[in-house]
Amino acid sequence: MPQPSCRLAIDVGGTFTDVVLVDDNSARVWFAKVLSTPDDPSKGSLTGAGEILQYSDIPSSLVHDVVHATTVATNAVLEGKGARTGMITTAGFRDALEMGREARYDIYDLGIRMPSPLVPRQRRLEVAERIDFSGAVRTPLDEAQVEDVLERLVRDAGIQSLAICLLHGYAHPDHEIRVAEIAARLFPDLTVSVSHQVSAEVREFERTSTTVVDAYVKPLVQTYVGRLNQGLSDLGMVREASMMLSHGGIGPAGDVADTYPVRMIESGPAAGAIAASHFAREALAQPDAIAFDMGGTTAKISVIRDGEPAITHEFEVGHVHRFKRGSGYPLQISAIELLEIGAGGGSIAHVNALGLLNVGPKSAGAVPGPVCYGQGGEQPTVTDADLLLGYLDPEHFLGGDMQLDLDAVSLAIESGIASGLGMSVEQVAWGIHDVVNESMAAAIRAHAAEKGIDLRNFAMIAFGGAGPVHAYALARKLGLGRLLCPFGAGVASAIGCLAALPAVELVNAYFARLDAVDWTLVAAHFASMRQSGEASLAKLIGADSRLVMQRSIDMRCQGQGYSVSVPVTDDDAEISIPALEAGFAEIYQGVYGHRPPDVPLEVVGLRARVLNPRPKLEIKPALDAATQGDGPALKGKRSVYFEAAGGYVETAIYDRYRLPMGETIQGPAIIEERETSIVTGPDTKFHVDAAANIVIDFDTGV
């Protein structure tokens, strides 16, 4: 029998930290779920890692890879707890952060709030320099002024991190490079983020915002990664961690922390989308799906088409107004397209000023957590409502490791909400559950309309600790025909970390009319990008590993303000101009709803994704108990609320690990596993497929 060769994944969420260990030789898998530790997220990560190694009886020396997804960078922005940051920019562009796009995200909101700049004006200083768009030096860099500005920022303003964002630095970075060199000479301990390294793309505001966020989170991320790697070493791990990135690939954690930690934003949800893509390809005949990820803090969706998630090159973080584009800090980086659609299990229910029941945006998080956790929470949450409705077993939560207090929940809902509304505790609990589901359904419908998606042709893949609890009601509202709850749904984002490929995203500014492109120069740019990608990934997978480069070209109609990214042939094959024009026309019509006008086309940038196409993730669930007859799948029955049944009904409770494969079972049912519970109503039937996924089909005509 071959010796185990294992990989470990850790996903830190707002409430729970999920850990997955897989033996690549046997495909055997183990799961762990522990409470997150917001004061120091590495504590929860290391606790979970130690726990899973202990009960799997796998020596840490056999773990050859650790992949990590974390909310550290995101939380630093959301909570305003990043480093004290300064900025150096070209004279005349000090206020780019506050001027932004000079647009209001809600023209009818008279009290509109914009996100406060992460770098206040007094710490944004200018230097005399100017390189124009063609690369001509209009004003030489005043190095003496650079030294003076640095002295004022570091010694007087006390900055810990510096963002360097010069005009046209994305294409002509000579002055940015020199400013960074001076900063390193004068203040070697100062962390520095330079715009042409972080976001080498046109658009002054977006590039500046991205670089500032990178500088803002960098010291915190560096400290965190160092602490995590030291803790893994103390556990006996032979390799440092790799980091899940927002674009769906993984890179060396140390390099990510030192070079572009902004690309860690949304790493956990990105891992969930990668997991959903993996499950869609494995379990669906047509791998088109809505990936529904609901954890303790938020709920997100991503769209999976042909087994791949949608990619965007610009998104926002730290919204002042939830769900409203333009109310956050724009980030100009490649990322899996994610839509935040609602609250999480820890989101707090309350009565608003109009006397209506609302849920969120405040969350109980991991500390104190929902009322039912018994850790000091006093305000009822979504998880509390789910418990009262019968969806969760107070004796089985986390496989029985955590006991839930049902009486405390009833008291909290009665005193906090029900008495004031003149409703029963059960009515309020259903109201909380339904309000969350309806808000999520509305957001998904709107997103589908914007993307031209016919939801009837899509399945839903539900995961996260709360996803399978809410997916049935959500899919029912949307009129979907099939719902898939994968094996390990409660820790799916950690599974996604293991399914992700080592990859690095690169972008290079290049401007020319399509009919005047210097293709020799373009080839040289792509060759340079490949070398950079190889050098970055060599630290993770070795210099001799097989790599593939996926190329694309950003194009637009002449005179247009925005571009689209057009894929071209991989690696070094010759680029076909007719194919490029046809690809542009197809993507343009998909985005704008009509064919492009008959005007010349322009190239505005080059993109490359360098990746290691290693074998797909294999997971073999340990479900031997079902075939060995160690007990029935049916655990018993309890009263559970279903709208389709008009109230509470006696419902079968199944042990997920003992369900026989292939047998079709009629709902309603609650299917319990350690990390989550799957809810399915009386208008459904379900079965377990060959990969141990729960496949739920809605009855025809419902």
Q: For position 213, which CATH number holds?
A: 3.40.50
Asked whether the predicted pLDDT for residue 570 surpasses 80, the reply is no
Domain holding 44: CATH number?
A: 3.30.420.40
| 51 shares its domain with 98 | no
| 53 shares its domain with 142 | no
| 50 shares its domain with 86 | no
Which residues sit opposite 665 in a β-bridge?
A: 686
Token representation of residue 471: 């997916």
pLDDT at residue 3, as a whole number: 63
Q: Given pLDDT bands bounded at 50, 70 and 90, which one contains residue 629?
A: very low
- The span from the CA of 663 to the CA of 126, in Å, is 70
Token representation of residue 280: 């869609």
Domain annotation covers residue 306: no
Average pLDDT over every residue of 534-541: 86
- Domain that residue 412 falls in: 364-433
- Three-state SS sequence of 101-112: CCCCCCCCCCCC
- The span from the CA of 214 to the CA of 85, in Å, is 10
Whether residue 317 contacts residue 262, with contact meaning beta carbons closer than 8 Å, is answered with no
- Cβ contacts of residue 620 below 8 Å, gap of 6+? 26, 27, 28, 29
- The span from the CA of 343 to the CA of 352, in Å, is 16
Return the ∠ at Cα 560 (arms to 558 and 562), rounded to 5°: 125
**% of the chain beyond a pLDDT of 90:** 55
Residue for token pair 């029900």: 418
Whether residue 464 contacts residue 489, with contact meaning beta carbons closer than 8 Å, is answered with yes
Asked whether the predicted pLDDT for residue 701 surpasses 60, the reply is no
pLDDT at residue 620, as a whole number: 76
Among 134, 11, 26, 148, which Cα is nearest to 68's?
Answer: 11
Q: 585 exposed, middle or buried (CB, 10 Å; 0-12, 13-18, 19+)?
A: middle
| 400 shares its domain with 524 | no
Q: Final residue of a domain: which of 201, 218, 235?
A: 218
Token representation of residue 461: 């893949």
Domain annotation covers residue 276: no
Q: Final residue of a domain: which of 611, 633, 660?
A: 611
CA distances (Å), origin 16, targets 12, 42, 46, 466, 599? 7, 12, 13, 11, 53
Domain annotation covers residue 326: no
Asked whether the predicted pLDDT for residue 454 surpasses 60, the reply is yes
Q: Final residue of a domain: which of 207, 242, 263?
A: 263
Among 16, 4, 6, which Cα is nearest to 492's?
Answer: 16
Which residues sit opposite 331 in a β-bridge?
A: 315
| 96 shares its domain with 203 | yes
| 556 shares its domain with 604 | yes
For β-strands 289-294 and 669-672, DSSP reports them as unpaired
Domain annotation covers residue 299: no
Domain annotation covers residue 403: yes
**% of the chain beyond a pLDDT of 70:** 97
| 88 shares its domain with 202 | yes
Average pLDDT over every residue of 60-67: 90
For β-strands 63-69 and 241-244, DSSP reports them as parallel
| 101 shares its domain with 166 | yes
Q: Given pLDDT bands bounded at 50, 70 and 90, which one contains residue 700?
A: low
pLDDT at residue 625, as a whole number: 41
Using DSSP's 3-state secondary structure scheme, residue 392 falls into coil
pLDDT at residue 323, as a whole number: 67
CA distances (Å), origin 510, targets 531, 555, 571, 574? 18, 10, 18, 18
Which residues sit opposite 672 in a β-bridge?
A: 655, 677
Domain annotation covers residue 228: yes
Domain annotation covers residue 307: no
Domain annotation covers residue 100: yes
Asked whether the predicted pLDDT for residue 702 surpasses 50, the reply is no
In sequence order, which ranges of 501-558 are alpha helices (DSSP H)?
519-541
pLDDT digits (tens, 9 = 90+) for 18-28: 999 998 888 88
pLDDT at residue 318, as a whole number: 84
Q: Given pLDDT bands bounded at 50, 70 and 90, which one contains residue 626?
A: very low
Average pLDDT over every residue of 608-634: 70
Asked whether the predicted pLDDT for residue 320 surpasses 60, the reply is yes
Cis omega (within 30 of 0) for bond into 370: no
Average pLDDT over every residue of 91-116: 88
Residue for token pair 């739920």: 696
Please give the mean pLDDT across all residues of the chain: 89
pLDDT at residue 321, as a whole number: 77
End-to-end CA distance of the chain: 51
| 86 shares its domain with 181 | yes
pLDDT digits (tens, 9 = 90+) for 460-489: 999 988 899 999 999 999 999 999 999 988
Using DSSP's 3-state secondary structure scheme, residue 39 falls into coil
Token representation of residue 11: 């996903």
| 172 shares its domain with 258 | no
Q: How many domains does the chain have?
A: 5
Using DSSP's 3-state secondary structure scheme, residue 650 falls into strand
Count of beta carbons in the 10 Å neighbourhood of residue 628: 9
Average pLDDT over every residue of 300-319: 90
pLDDT at residue 582, as a whole number: 93
Asked whether the predicted pLDDT for residue 650 surpasses 80, the reply is yes
**What would the DSSP string read from start to end of 565-633?**
EEE--STTPPPPHHHHHHHHHHHHHHHHSSPPPSS-EEEEEEEEEEE--PPPP--B---HHHHHT-S-S
Average pLDDT over every residue of 686-695: 91
Torsion of CA 371, 374, 375, 378, to 10 degrees: 30
Q: 629 exposed, middle or buried (CB, 10 Å; 0-12, 13-18, 19+)?
A: exposed
| 149 shares its domain with 237 | no
| 108 shares its domain with 181 | yes
In sequence order, which ranges of 33-85 are alpha helices (DSSP H)?
41-56, 72-78
- Quick one: angle between helices 267-283 and 492-499, nearest 10? 80
- The span from the CA of 569 to the CA of 199, in Å, is 24
pLDDT at residue 121, as a whole number: 94
Helix, strand, coil share of the chain (percent; to 5): 35, 25, 35
Q: Given pLDDT bands bounded at 50, 70 and 90, which one contains residue 359?
A: confident
Q: Lowest-pLDDT range, 509-523, 554-568, 631-645? A: 631-645
Whether residue 611 contacts residue 501, with contact meaning beta carbons closer than 8 Å, is answered with yes
